[in-house]
């Protein structure tokens, strides 16, 4: 079956708009967690929907959660196997450290692991200098990336998160950054790693790295991402957890009881998830035109009903059918002829293939006078 690329169309049908699920408001009012954080936010990473927030737009220092941006830039810009020679300025940096040696050689991946598991400020500094030549120039890259991601209330001075006058973010910006970073498979793999070993002094010894995020081992579905603390910032924590394909991002800034608060926030978030039908029980069905066939149309169908796990509340659901204006015969039963894509607002939440209901054979065309003459003469 041939399909003309220029004739592809997108047929959009609004299934539901502004539907308020019964009891959703009551569930929110009764179950909202009380947290001790100065700022907090819980985000559904897939839809971008905020489930819970507390003073989420106040600018605050964020300590080592800064390293989420440092790691993102590193995995976006670098070959992870590339070797970095530790510069003198990375040795003995204040705060958490893996005690790097001057001129020691490690890969980008080993440094990112040290930074994200052990919160090593020396590793963050080595990454920054290796990429940009200096901490200051790397901060320029960080702020440029923040602007690209729409983080309008975030400013970076350094790659590690030590306090600075112009070093701050908000719970909302940090959640948005993390949701984006978790789409990067390399970033996601590293921040979900609990234990790793990297070399010391070019192989003379080894360093055991253990992730500071205790929720990785104690909370069902936890997959990252970063702890942080300075006297100025207080305890800061960003956690990602995933269940049944739904990823939640929890952020707290200046939270003396962050481990408990993250459990409460995530428990609340997952309790707010419900299975929403996107089609009727028979799925998606329709017809499409066929050219050059014994039949002028053929039916199509999805392989059963489609649903998605969504946060309770108002949804603007729509289905877009991606299919050619017409199909060329022959068409075979079960052949994939298009796709249905389901959206909540502008966010894609599900999709499925569409298949032809039956065969459509090619129509025999009458031969022209000259073709019949050629047949007679044997040409």
Shared-domain flag, residues 249 and 330: no
pLDDT-wise least confident of 21-35, 43-57, 108-122, 142-156? 21-35
Mean pLDDT of 27-42: 82
Annotated binding-site ranges for substrate = 226
Determine the pLDDT at residue 202: 82
Note if 206 is an active site residue: no
Q: Which of 38, 39, 47, 64 is catalytic?
A: 64
In a domain, 286, yes or no: yes
Mean pLDDT of 263-287: 96
Q: Residue 46 maps to which CATH number? A: 3.40.710.10
Shared-domain flag, residues 13 and 53: no
Determine the pLDDT at residue 30: 54
Q: Which of 54, 67, 264, 312 is catalytic?
A: 67
In a domain, 284, yes or no: yes
Note if 6 is an active site residue: no
Determine the pLDDT at residue 368: 72
Shared-domain flag, residues 193 and 283: no
In a domain, 140, yes or no: yes
How many structural domains compose the chain?
2
CA–CA dist 347, 194 (Å, integer): 31
Spell out the SS3 assignment of the chain.
CCCCHHHEEEEEEEEEEEECCCCHHHHHHHHCCCCCCCEEEEEECCCCCEEEEECCCCCECCHHHHHHHHHHHHHHHCCCCCEEECCHHHCCCCCCCCCCCCCCEEEHHHHHHHHHHCCCHHHHHHHHHHHHCCHHHHHHHHHHHHHHCCCCCCECCCCCCCCCCCCEECHHHHHHHHHHHCCCHHHHHHHCCCEEEEEECCCCEEEEEECCCCHHHHCCCEEEEEEEEECCCEEEEEEEEEECCEEEEEEEECCCCHHHHHHHHHHHHHHCEEEEECCECCECEEEEEEECECCCEEEEEECCCCEEEEECCCEEEEEEEEEECEEECCECCCCEEEEEEEEECCEEEEEEEEEECCCECECCCCCCHHHHHHHHHCC
Note if 374 is an active site residue: no
Name the pLDDT band for 29 (thresholds 50, 70, 90): very low
In a domain, 15, yes or no: yes
Is the overall model pTM greater than 0.75, yes or no? yes
In a domain, 369, yes or no: no
Determine the pLDDT at residue 304: 95
Residue 158: pLDDT over 60:
yes
Shared-domain flag, residues 234 and 87: yes
Determine the pLDDT at residue 365: 74
Tokens 């590193």, located at residue: 74
Q: Which two tokens stand for residue 157?
A: 């001075």
Mean pLDDT of 259-280: 96
Residue 372: pLDDT over 90:
no
Shared-domain flag, residues 186 and 252: yes
Name the pLDDT band for 379 (thresholds 50, 70, 90): low
Annotated binding-site ranges = 226
Domain of residue 290: give its range: 5-20+277-356
Q: Write the burial class of residue 91 (CB in 10 Å: 0-12 exposed, 13-18 middle, 19+ buried).
A: middle
pLDDT, tens only, 278-289: 999 999 999 999
pLDDT, tens only, 247-262: 999 999 999 999 999 9
Residues in Cβ contact with 238 at an 8 Å cutoff, skipping those fewer than 6 apart: 65, 68, 174, 175, 178, 224, 225, 226, 249, 250, 251
Name the pLDDT band for 15 (thresholds 50, 70, 90): very low
Mean pLDDT of 69-75: 99
Determine the pLDDT at residue 23: 32
pLDDT, tens only, 170-204: 999 999 999 999 999 999 999 999 999 999 988 88
Residue 1: pLDDT over 50:
no
Determine the pLDDT at residue 155: 99
Mean pLDDT of the chain: 91
Size (the chain), residues? 379
Residue 4: pLDDT over 60:
no
| Cβ–Cβ under 8 Å, residues 141 and 131 | yes
Shared-domain flag, residues 290 and 249: no
Name the pLDDT band for 370 (thresholds 50, 70, 90): confident
In a domain, 132, yes or no: yes
pLDDT, tens only, 296-312: 999 999 999 999 999 88
Determine the pLDDT at residue 16: 28
Shared-domain flag, residues 96 and 139: yes
In a domain, 376, yes or no: no
Determine the pLDDT at residue 21: 30
- Picking from 131, 134, 238, 222, the residue whose alpha carbon sits closest to that of residue 176 is 238
Determine the pLDDT at residue 214: 96
Shared-domain flag, residues 323 and 196: no
Q: Residue 303 maps to which CATH number? A: 2.60.410.10
Q: Which of 39, 119, 192, 196 is catalytic?
A: 119
| Cβ–Cβ under 8 Å, residues 120 and 162 | no
Determine the pLDDT at residue 238: 99
Shared-domain flag, residues 67 and 174: yes
Name the pLDDT band for 26 (thresholds 50, 70, 90): very low
CA–CA dist 223, 47 (Å, integer): 18
CA–CA dist 191, 71 (Å, integer): 9
Residue 358: pLDDT over 60:
yes
């Amino acid at each position: 079956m041939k399909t003309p690329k220029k004739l592809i169309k997108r047929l959009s049908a609004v299934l539901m708009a502004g539907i308020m699920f019964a009891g959703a408001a009551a569930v929110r009012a009764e179950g909202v967690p009380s947290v001790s954080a100065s700022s907090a936010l819980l985000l559904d990473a897939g839809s971008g929907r905020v489930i819970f927030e507390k003073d989420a737009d106040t600018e605050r220092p964020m300590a080592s959660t800064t390293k989420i941006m440092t790691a993102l830039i590193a995995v976006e810009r670098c070959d992870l196997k590339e070797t970095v020679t530790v510069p003198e300025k990375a040795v003995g940096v204040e705060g958490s450290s893996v005690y790097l040696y001057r001129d020691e050689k490690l890969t980008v991946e080993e440094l990112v692991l040290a930074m994200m598991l052990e919160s090593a400020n020396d590793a963050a500094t080595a990454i920054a200098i290796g990429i940009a030549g200096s901490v200051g120039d790397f901060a320029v890259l960080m702020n440029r990336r923040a602007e690209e991601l729409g983080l309008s209330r975030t400013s970076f001075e350094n790659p590690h998160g030590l306090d600075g006058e112009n070093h701050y973010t908000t719970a909302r910006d940090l959640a948005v950054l993390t949701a984006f970073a978790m789409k990067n498979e390399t970033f996601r793999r590293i921040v979900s790693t609990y234990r790793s070993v990297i070399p010391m002094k070019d192989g003379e010894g080894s360093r055991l790295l253990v992730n500071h995020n205790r929720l990785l081992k104690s909370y069902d579905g936890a997959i990252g991402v970063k702890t942080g603390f300075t006297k100025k910032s207080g305890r800061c924590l960003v956690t990602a957890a995933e269940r049944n394909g739904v990823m939640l991002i929890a952020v707290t800034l200046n939270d003396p009881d962050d481990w408990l608060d993250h459990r409460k926030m995530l428990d609340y978030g997952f309790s707010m998830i419900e299975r929403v039908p996107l089609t009727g029980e028979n799925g998606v069905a329709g017809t499409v035109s066929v050219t050059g066939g014994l039949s002028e149309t053929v039916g199509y169908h999805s392989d059963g009903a489609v649903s998605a796990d969504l946060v309770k509340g108002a949804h603007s659901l729509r289905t877009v059918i991606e299919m050619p204006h017409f199909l060329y015969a022959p068409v075979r039963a079960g052949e994939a002829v298009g796709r249905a894509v389901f959206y909540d607002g502008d966010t894609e939440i599900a999709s499925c293939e569409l298949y032809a209901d039956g065969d459509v054979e090619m129509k025999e065309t009458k031969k022209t006078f000259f073709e019949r003459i050629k047949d007679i003469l044997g040409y």
